[in-house]
Structure 1
Amino acid sequence: MVEPVSAQLAVIGTLLAEARGPIRTSVVDIGSQWAQFAGWLNANAGRLSDANHWYGIALEWATEANDHDMIGTALNMKGHLAWMSGKTSQMISLSEAASRRGASRGVRSLARQQAARGYAITGDYEETERRLDQAEVLAWAAADHPEDEPDWIYFFDPHFLQMQRGLAYSILGRHTAAIDLLLTGLAAVPGDIRRSEWVGWYVSRLATAHAREGDPESACRVSAEAVEIARATDAGRLLADLRRLHSRLAGQWLDLPAVIELGERLR
């Protein structure tokens, strides 16, 4: 997907070299969406420098087009990159900036929940809960007015937020609550996207929560589903994450049949 998207962006760049007036505004508006998509594709492939470049272009073009939804989204995605890079302070700061902009409720909810995860990483229970509660209010308001939301957050709803709350709770060590939230959120994912790569990542987080709760059988059972998703979507990063989880399981329960079987699945 990266190559055709890059080709489309090259065409947009050529058009912008000559575009003026209202036509230019329309081109940069559309271009910002393509640039954000290019950023996501590169981030998903582990090319974080390229992803940061395209998120920066998306932010620049969205600012020129006065598209507050994309401005907030680009800032939030740069915060996501900071999380991927282990830069928690930057992750929180960019997420907070995204949530302060004049974007839609859904975009601001996504930013608040990401900030909550950052606070969870720092061990700040109070700020984690505060941002999650704020995100939930915004998420339900967005669900009541879907016509106000940009197309590119089609995946976001209150059930997605449940999974994010579960992730934050797992980071804080509240594994039982995390498992319940992740199970509930995943059960609400529509069947046509249940096998998507990004859903597989939450399945792997559920498996990790089971492992941290001391339930290796459940961890292996859930991991098996994530392995199937990773194989079907050619998700190398997801497979690598599952192999790391298996290594931790094998370190504690080396002779457990479920752990042995999971290792065979991951070969």
Structure 2
Amino acid sequence: METAQPVESWAEFGRRLRAWRRQAGLTQSQLGLKVGYHHSLISRLEAGLREPPAGLAGRLDSVLGTGGELAAVVAAPGGTPYRPQRPPADPRLFAPVPGGGEAPAGQYGLDPVLWPSELPAEGLACPLHGTVGCAVPDLAGAPHLLDGLTASQGGSDGLPCSEPELLHTLTAVLACLIRGALHRGASDGLTTVERLLRALVRWAGAVNSTGRLPYGQLRLAAQYAQVAGRLRMQRGQSSIGMAWFGHGLSWADAVHDVLGRATLLSDVCTLVRLDRDAGSALAYAEAIGAVDPGRRWVVTLSHLYRARGHALGHDAAECRRHISLARRGFARLGRQDRLEAPWLSGAEGEMRVESAIGGALRDLAAVTGDRVTARRAVDATARSRAQLPPLMRETRVLLTLRLADCWACAGDPGAAVALAAPVLDEAVSSSELVTNAELRGLHGRLLARWGDVPEVREYRERLPVPGI
């Protein structure tokens, strides 16, 4: 919480913090690194513009050698008391999890070019401190910390560093792997994600056994589970992907993680939609909106998935209504929405929104035969594709196939084949579930309606795998 007018106790805390920092000969950046926060937070604290996050005063006391003075200011009458610890979670949350395969110690496939400079990064906020801004440990020391975690049985005594530092490192690792595996198409991220996730769950279980809720560990585990599930989807493994999403939802629920629950439900929506289960797709889409109806980005996400569910259920009126509501919600996203869901803002947000709308309109056009709807699907998908970063090659293939299918639904097989031809070999060799579904849909529509058209015959002959 921040305010334009300093609260008296915050101002006193800030004055003492500044004095102790200067006495220690540290800059705000140096102090931020030592306690795991971005220097901008230290600056705001010293200015008395916000309350210290829970637990930070104690860490500052330890680093600066104040003898507990800063924590005493926080806990003094009229100040901001520490939040009570939550009770531990159900031990069943820490049962064995999916995945297998180990990599040699010290080998995590981390590209220095992709290592984040601070958190949040790639939409990942710090699991302890949210979006206030946290410093990231140096990449050079990360393998040692990760080896210590994977080798330990989870107890804090065996960890190679403090809890905040390790959680910050694990978050930075995940951001780095997202940039590599999901954006650049690197195929070696899954082993690392699942290996670290198993270690993270062991650590969470050990913390939980002491009677303390492993809040940061479970929030981060939900994020790791989501990435693991998406990487399994890239490999065509829907069952393991769904298992990871299920674990992630359990962990997110245990710590009331709104962002984690909403985005994991959206991934579950995608999987059930691929099974052509309109009823389940709608149920999960509605569950997204129920996570927190007061957050506009959550409601907007829900409308997008409801539109796709209604298209699958052949309900044109409801599909169009939710498309309209989604566009309106996206246009009204505020600063807090963009902070919590940066992937739903700016060019990336437009890409995601128009992609979902294009998919819904294409599905609707496919079942109704309405070519006006198909042309609207063409427009939405083309807008989405135009916003796509060059490095997201797999997504470009997917959207190219969808755009081709939109043209097929609009009655132009020549345009469909011309669009699909350059990516056809890449699409056929892909294991990604959504890409495969797009290819099957395009193939089926072209052959069913225009199998005798010369361009379509040539397209069919290029397919190296029968039955696609």
- What TM bracket, shorter-length normalisation? 0.7 to 0.9
- Could you list the runs of 5+ residues in structure 1 that have no partner in the other structure? none
The equivalent of 1:258 in structure 2 is 455
Identify the match of residue 90 of structure 1 among 272, 280, 305: 280
- 2:288 and 2:301 in contact (8 A); partners too: no
CA pair 117-257 structure 1, distance change in 2 beyond 3 A:
same
- The two structures have a TM-score, normalised by structure 1, of 0.85
- 1:140 and 1:157 in contact (8 A); partners too: no
CA–CA separation in structure 2 for the residues paired with 1:111 and 1:150: 14
Identify the match of residue 190 of structure 1 among 377, 389, 392: 389
Identify the match of residue 2 of structure 1 among 184, 190, 196: 190
With 252-261 and 35-44 compared, the bigger mean Cα shift is at: 252-261
Deviation of the 1:220 alpha carbon: 0.4
One-letter amino acid of the counterpart of residue 225, structure 2: A
Identify the match of residue 361 of structure 2 among 156, 164, 169: 169
- 2:236 and 2:432 in contact (8 A); partners too: no
CA–CA separation in structure 2 for the residues paired with 1:181 and 1:260: 28
With 146-155 and 114-123 compared, the bigger mean Cα shift is at: 146-155
SS at match of 1:258: helix
Alignment of structure 1 residues 1-267 onto 2, 5 Å = 1-20=189-208, 24-102=214-292, 104-142=295-333, 147-150=338-341, 156-173=348-365, 174-193=373-392, 195=393, 197-227=394-424, 229-230=426-427, 234-235=430-431, 237=433, 238=435, 241-242=438-439, 245-246=442-443, 248-254=445-451, 256-267=453-464
CA RMSD after TM alignment: 2.8
Deviation of the 1:254 alpha carbon: 4.2
- The two structures have a TM-score, normalised by structure 2, of 0.51
- 1:246 and 1:259 in contact (8 A); partners too: no
CA–CA separation in structure 1 for the residues paired with 2:407 and 2:386: 17
CA–CA separation in structure 2 for the residues paired with 1:10 and 1:147: 31
CA pair 169-236 structure 1, distance change in 2 beyond 3 A:
closer
- 1:32 and 1:70 in contact (8 A); partners too: yes
Deviation of the 1:72 alpha carbon: 1.2
One-letter amino acid of the counterpart of residue 332, structure 2: A
- 2:296 and 2:337 in contact (8 A); partners too: no
- 2:362 and 2:377 in contact (8 A); partners too: yes
- 2:265 and 2:288 in contact (8 A); partners too: yes
With 78-87 and 42-51 compared, the bigger mean Cα shift is at: 42-51
CA–CA separation in structure 1 for the residues paired with 2:453 and 2:412: 11
- Could you list the runs of 5+ residues in structure 2 that have no partner in the other structure? 1-188, 366-372
One-letter amino acid of the counterpart of residue 446, structure 2: L
Deviation of the 1:248 alpha carbon: 4.2
Question: Which protein is bigger by CA-based radius of gyration?
Answer: 2
- 1:96 and 1:111 in contact (8 A); partners too: yes
CA pair 240-17 structure 1, distance change in 2 beyond 3 A:
closer
**Cα shift readout 1:197-244 (whole Å, capped 9, x = no counterpart):** 23322221211121222211101011124326537x844543574366
Deviation of the 1:140 alpha carbon: 2.4
Deviation of the 1:187 alpha carbon: 1.8
One-letter amino acid of the counterpart of residue 266, structure 1: L
**Cα shift readout 1:7-39 (whole Å, capped 9, x = no counterpart):** 111111211221147771111111110011112
CA–CA separation in structure 2 for the residues paired with 1:258 and 1:185: 26
Higher helix share: 1
CA–CA separation in structure 2 for the residues paired with 1:258 and 1:164: 29
Percent identical residues: 26
SS at match of 1:192: coil
One-letter amino acid of the counterpart of residue 205, structure 1: R
